[in-house]
């Protein structure tokens, strides 16, 4: 599990394609390397990936084609920076919200401003995922825990404070780019339960009436 508080933006040292996926090599800092082991989970641009190799400060991760198709990881090239967060310990302070690194969908950037006095991202999600996102609710965008500021159908706006801009990759995004979206799991379960209950009960009530 993760908190959605990005710890660092680190460069992709290399990307190697192979049948069935890609290997991503990322240059870690000494702090991020602390007690890191093979098989450990790391949140990379919102996607939970397992460590497959450690060579000095270079750490490798494999992403299968299914992951590449469901996320925006396929857009990256060597030299690009990615958001990183090591998995959280039970004793860690959680300044964001609990996220799993399991991407629900990608969202297309419609408009973005990185001017510090009015920084925001406006993006559109597929219709089937819009029902899980509410004003003032939270979601993970590229692994960053953020609050939804505005909702217009399946078009959503999040505001970005200067610290978020400094500590993440959002400055690298432009209209037309895809963002990794993880909706809050508890919200998703609640919406689905209510939806199924209404679908099952409402026809009976109408018949009785």
Task: Specify the higher pLDDT residue, 204 or 99.
Answer: 99
Domain containing 34 equals 8-86
Residue 162 in any domain: the answer is yes
For the stretch 158-181, pLDDT in tens is: 999 999 999 999 999 999 999 999
pLDDT band at 203, cuts 50/70/90? low
Residue where a domain terminates, one of 20, 55, 86: 86
164 within domain boundaries:
yes
- Mean pLDDT score, 32-60: 97
Give the CATH number for residue 69: 2.40.30.20
Total number of domains in the chain: 2
pLDDT tens-digit series, residues 83-103: 999 998 766 666 667 899 999
**Does the residue 72 lie in any domain?**
yes
Q: How far is CA 15 from CA 95, 131, 200, in A?
A: 32, 35, 49
Q: Give 23's contacts (C-beta < 8 A, 6+ positions apart).
A: 14, 15, 16, 52, 60, 61, 62, 63
């Amino acid at each position: 599990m993760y908190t959605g508080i990005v710890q660092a933006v680190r460069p992709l040292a290399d990307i190697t394609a192979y049948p069935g996926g890609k290997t991503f090599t990322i240059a870690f800092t000494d702090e991020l390397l602390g007690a890191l082991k093979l098989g450990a989970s790391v949140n990379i641009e919102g996607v939970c990936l397992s460590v497959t190799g450690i060579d000095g400060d270079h750490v490798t991760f494999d992403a299968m084609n299914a992951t590449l198709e469901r996320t925006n990881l396929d857009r990256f090239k060597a030299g690009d920076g990615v958001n990183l967060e090591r998995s959280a310990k039970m004793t860690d302070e959680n300044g964001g919200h609990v996220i799993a690194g399991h991407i629900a969908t990608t969202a297309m950037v419609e408009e973005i401003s990185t001017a510090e006095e009015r920084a925001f991202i406006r993006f559109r999600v597929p219709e089937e995922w819009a029902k899980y996102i509410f004003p003032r609710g939270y979601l993970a965008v590229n692994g960053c825990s953020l609050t939804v500021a505005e909702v217009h159908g399946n078009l959503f706006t999040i505001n970005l404070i200067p610290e978020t801009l400094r500590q993440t990759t959002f400055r690298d995004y432009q209209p037309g780019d895809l963002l990794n979206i993880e909706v809050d799991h508890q919200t998703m379960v609640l919406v689905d339960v209510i939806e199924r209950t209404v679908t099952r009960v409402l026809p009976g009530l109408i018949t009785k009436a």
